[in-house]
Structure 1
Amino acid sequence: MRINFDFADLEAFLVLSETGSFVVAAAHLGVSQSALTRRIRKLEETLGAQLFDRTTRSVRMTLAAKRLRSRAQGLVDEARETMREMKDDTAEFSFQNRAIVTVAAVPSTIARVVIPAVGLFSAGRNEARVRILDLLANEVAEAVEDGQADFGVSSWAAPDGALLFEPFFEDRVVLVVPPDHPLAQASGALKWGALSGQRLILPSQGSGNRALIDRALAPEALSLFWSYEVPRTSTALELVRAGLGVAALPLSAVPVADGSRLAIRPLSSPAVARRIGLVYRRNGAIPPAAARLRDLIVPEAHRWAEV
């Protein structure tokens, strides 16, 4: 049987069983109610049993919850004791316990914003290791809110008040074409209407980039007929490299150096852009090592505001 929950889920369960309130439990844990609900739901799905009867006025433990409670408390207590013992036993091997900085980022920002900052971070006197989570915009918000990431770099932040969004720059949508394509030789910005009849590559419906494009074109009564619809910008770029079409993508998604395999043309009428920024928890402090990486990402991102 695969174990699909962690100690944070068990701790959330124990606090909720004690308080009997999602509001009080979430405040105690320092997470939003939605994050607490996801943890409890994950635990219930893994165990295959409902743990709480929820009404508008109360939260009551089920029989399954009562059976789980003592075992969960024992597991959490044993884990805490193990952590205390390990800290004592391995203090002399501190090099094995270097901090891990986790940053969640939408794929299109990794090459031009995150990686240059990580390079500077690694070149400095930093012992911390870096974990990069390549996620969609809503997944970046969830990873930061749930504490899976120290902070995020994204185009969108959750609107439930648990997160803050600090914008860096406007990332405009451009047309990426093969270098020998007729549109690659056009002078000036291309109008969206000029894409009619082209083998167009667009982001998938439901993605943040597609919603951005659709919202911008709606007042202009422009309807784009796509030939390829893909979930990832990397897939769109490979289709362009193969000469199969032209792609409307955020500029940050285009590789910094790509030889002669890609050409970029600006798009106008209307100009379409998204805000890229830092996502972090409203009530959570960023660890020192993570703060150092964040402070390197900030100027790297601001540099893009001047491009």
Structure 2
Amino acid sequence: MAPTFRQIQAFLAVATHLKFVKAAEELHVSQPALTVQINQLEAALSIKLFNRTKRQVSLTAAGQDMLPLFERIAGDMDNVMSASSDIHHARRGVVRIACLPSVAARIVPIAMEKFRRTHPNIRVHVRDVMGEDIVEMVKLNAVDFGIGARLTPDREIKVEGFLTDHICAFYQQGHPLGNEGAVLKLTDCVRYPLILTNQNSSVRVLFERSMAREGVDVEIAGEANYMSTALGMVRAGLGVAILPMSAIDAGNAFGLEYLPIDAPWLNRRIGFVRKATGSLSPVAEHFIKALQETGESLPNATFRSSRRSDSCV
């Protein structure tokens, strides 16, 4: 039988006090129980660790040789217990997340700054990637969780509601869309050349589904991976960009105007993407809470907080 950690603790207590009575008091056990633990340890190691008489206890030569080894084991166990306590209470660790660039541009940095003040020893690693890449990174355990939109059913992941990102039309100042009112209809926008995100993006998928509902064709003037590129195309006069309102933070909208589009099925619901099985680390759970608090405290309606589980489609 391999020695137990309790037996090692018993050995170290006796080696420190060289009295069974005091060692038993330190460990809060009876003296007979302590004697049993020492006997079991000696039997497990097949060596005698203590010379014992009625008046004196001393380490044998073998006991002296084993003392630094057992002290090292006890020290390592103390480190393990300390590290596990730090992780449980989110005092140390690493959080790896993959999120949409629009979320990474605003909410995540604000949450990181607040989180750093209360959890200075936790590092947050952020990957800003497209929606499909977020899901794959979560499934491959490349990140702890993702922040994105689930567009197709997938039994390997679950999505917990976080935010709603409203879709808008971005256009040059003086464009006719500016005369349509405070809110646009999708049919108002499709009369003009459009600038869209690339086909693997969540916004593009939602837009194409909406077009299928409306049964209309559109003229695509340009496609872009990044919202800042799409806004640059608008600024150059290439067309009207269909982007989430968070493009205001993700790209330079200076000199442009925008209006929300009244099409509820077009709005992008963003959630926490995680594996359907298993659990997150305590530090990851704490950072999710920080993100939720940040989303609820935003001063304007770029995003709207949403806590419905599995609401992201």
Place the TM-score, normalised by the shorter chain, in its bin. Answer: 0.5 to 0.7
Cα separation, 1, equivalents of 2:103 and 2:244: 9
CA shift in 2, pair 1:190/1:165, >3 Å: same
Is 1:219 aligned with 2:218?
Answer: no
SS at 2:261 equivalent: strand
* C-alpha distance in 2 between matches for 1:173 and 1:149: 28
Q: Percent identity among equivalent residues?
A: 31
Q: Which residue of 1 aligns with 2:103?
A: 109
Alignment equivalent of 2:147, drawn from 136, 148, 153: 153
2:135 to 119, 130, 141: 141
Cα pair 2:206 2:265 within 8 Å, conserved: no
Counterpart for residue 204 of structure 2? 210
Residues 42-97 of structure 1, C-alpha deviation per residue, up to 9 Å, x if partnerless?
xxxxxxxxxxxxxxxxxxxxxxxxxxxxxxxxxxxxxxxxxxxxx97xx7xx9xxx
Q: Is the CA contact (8 Å cut-off) linking 1:168 and 1:302 kept in structure 2?
A: no
- Distance in 2 between the 1:306 and 1:169 partners? 4
Aligned length: 218
Distance in 1, matches of 2:225 and 2:97, equals 21
What displacement does 1:185 show?
Answer: 5.1
Asked if structure 2 preserves the Cα contact closer than 8 Å seen for 1:171 and 1:274, the reply is yes
Q: Give the alignment's Cα RMSD to 1 decimal.
A: 3.3
Matching residue of 1:4: none
Matched residue, 1:305: 304
Aligned residue among 106, 116, 119 for 1:122: 116
Q: Within the alignment, does 1:261 sit opposite 2:260 as a pair?
A: no
SS state at 2:162 partner: strand
Structure 2 residue identity aligned to 1:231: N
Amino acid at match of 1:305: R
Alignment of 1:238 with 2:232, yes or no, is: yes
Q: What is the CA distance between 1:269 and its match in structure 2?
A: 5.6
Scaled by the length of structure 1, the TM-score of the pair is 0.61
- Structure 1 residue runs of 5 or longer lacking an equivalent are 1-86
2: CA distance between counterparts of 1:270 and 1:147? 33
Structure of greater Rg: 2
Q: How far does residue 121 in structure 1 lie from its aligned partner after superposition?
A: 1.1
- 1:152-301 aligned at under 5 Å gives the runs 152-156=146-150, 159-184=153-178, 186-255=180-249, 260-268=254-262, 272-301=266-295
Task: For 2:156 and 2:242, locate their aligned partners in 1 and report how far apart those are by CA, in whole Å.
Answer: 32
**Cα shift at 1:289:** 2.1
Q: Is the 8 A contact 1:179 1:260 kept in 2?
A: no
Task: List runs of 5+ in structure 2 lacking aligned partners.
Answer: 1-74, 84-91, 298-302, 307-313
**1:22-33 counterparts in 2 under 5 A?**
none
Which residue identity is paired with 1:225?
A: E
Moved more, 295-304 or 135-144: 295-304
What TM-score comes out, normalization by structure 2 length?
A: 0.60
Q: For 1:202, what is the secondary structure of its paired residue?
A: strand
Which amino acid counterpart does residue 249 of structure 1 have in structure 2?
L
